[in-house]
Amino acid sequence: MALDHTASGVYVIAPTPFHDDGRVDEASTDRMTDFFMEAGATGITVLGVMGEAPKLDQAEALSIATRMIKRASIPIVVGVSAPGFAAMRALARGSMDAGAAGVMIAPPNTLRTDDQIVTYYRQAVEAIGADVPFVLQDYPLLFQVQMTPGVIKRIVTDNPSCVMLKAEDWPGLEKISTLRAWQAEGSLRPISILCGNGGLFIDFEVERGADGAMTGYAFPDMLVEVVGKLQAGQRDSAHDLFDAHLPLIRYEQQFGLGLAVRKYVMKRRGIIASDAQRKPGGMLSAKAVAEVEYLLGRLAQHDPRAKV
């Protein structure tokens, strides 16, 4: 089940469930995996930024990835971003051996020029092996690395194993249009484009040519529906559902706090047992909890899934 450019739908970015004392919560991991499949996800991405990957040691990381791969019947993508290529290779090969569909690679925040970015991905592919399908993560607001469409084109062209773009530039709509226009004219080979940023622009991204979402909003079942409606041409209906969730989506889009909101809501939905994060991690104040509850209450008037 190797990842390729035909991937579409919703790949859910999985958080890593912890017990309150910081140990990995395996039962919650299993329950969450099942939930994502029931929600209609077409794939799952583990060990991304929102998976608290850097807070795990090498053995823990591989263990979590392996557990989800074994349990899921949908493709699992494993985030293998690392400060050096030796560690990246170790996790990538280990994950693929365990049955991962592919890996995801974010750029280190020290890259600046176009050439530096292109060189980095060439060396990364050398390190992990050209046989490992990989997702290119374009997330300038967090990583401080700005990839123009031209740079993405160079990476895709240089590396046949690049099969997907996780598009979370902000703003990013024109970038999707540009890449799809290049494909239409034949100057860029097909890749899958799945969008991030918590889904904040998913209502337009699919119309611009994205194949769906790869993100981690606490209602991935809603994302599945919205993407489905958009792909079916049900524009107004898609926006109606999306707009009902937008106040909460927006609230989740708070850097450093977003994961706390997401884990809190997933706990309230019964998906995970605890919303604990390993250090360093954001925590919801009592006021923030009340705000989330208020938003859930308002959402429940439109979407019964929010009745928690």
| Shortest distance in whole angstroms from residue 260 CB to a copy of itself | 10
Cβ atoms of 72 and 44 within 8 Å: the answer is: yes
Site for a copy of itself in 14-53 (CB under 8 A): 53
End-to-end Cα, the chain, rounded Å = 35
CB atoms within 10 A of CB 205: 26
The CA–CA distances, whole Å, from 244 to 88, 204, 295 equal: 40, 15, 10
Closest CA to 198 of 6, 10, 4, 55: 10
Establish if 233 lies at the interface with a copy of itself (CB under 8 A): no
Structure tokens at 109: 């925040």
> Which residues are annotated binding-site positions?
214
> Which residues are annotated binding-site positions for pyruvate?
214
Looking at 189, 204, 228, 293, which residue binds a copy of itself (CB under 8 A)?
A: 204
Looking at 21, 185, 186, 287, which residue binds a copy of itself (CB under 8 A)?
A: 287
**DSSP alpha helix (H) spans, the chain:** 26-38, 58-71, 85-97, 114-128, 140-143, 149-158, 173-185, 202-208, 220-231, 235-252, 258-268, 286-300
Nearer to a copy of itself, 146 or 161 (CB): 146
Q: Give how many residues touch a copy of itself by CB under 8 A.
A: 60
Establish if 168 lies at the interface with a copy of itself (CB under 8 A): no
Distance CA 82, CA 72 (A): 25
Nearer to a copy of itself, 6 or 301 (CB): 301
- Region from 70-78, 155-163, 215-223, 235-243 binding a copy of itself, contact rule CB under 8 A: 235-243
Distance CA 179, CA 165 (A): 10
| Shortest distance in whole angstroms from residue 203 CB to a copy of itself | 8
SS3 state of residue 142: helix
Site for a copy of itself in 183-202 (CB under 8 A): 200-201
Identify the sign of the CA torsion 97, 102, 106, 112: positive
Establish if 246 lies at the interface with a copy of itself (CB under 8 A): yes
SS3 state of residue 102: strand
Nearer to a copy of itself, 116 or 234 (CB): 116
Nearer to a copy of itself, 26 or 174 (CB): 174
| Shortest distance in whole angstroms from residue 199 CB to a copy of itself | 11
SS3 state of residue 249: helix
Nearer to a copy of itself, 39 or 252 (CB): 252
Cβ atoms of 267 and 276 within 8 Å: the answer is: no
Length of the chain: 308
Site for a copy of itself in 89-128 (CB under 8 A): 89-90, 109-110, 112-116, 119-120, 123, 126-127
| Shortest distance in whole angstroms from residue 113 CB to a copy of itself | 5
Contact positions toward a copy of itself, by CB under 8 A?
Answer: 53-58, 60, 82-87, 89-90, 109-110, 112-116, 119-120, 123, 126-127, 146-148, 150-151, 170-171, 173-174, 177, 200-201, 203-204, 208, 236, 239, 243, 246-247, 250, 254-257, 278-280, 285, 287-288, 291, 298
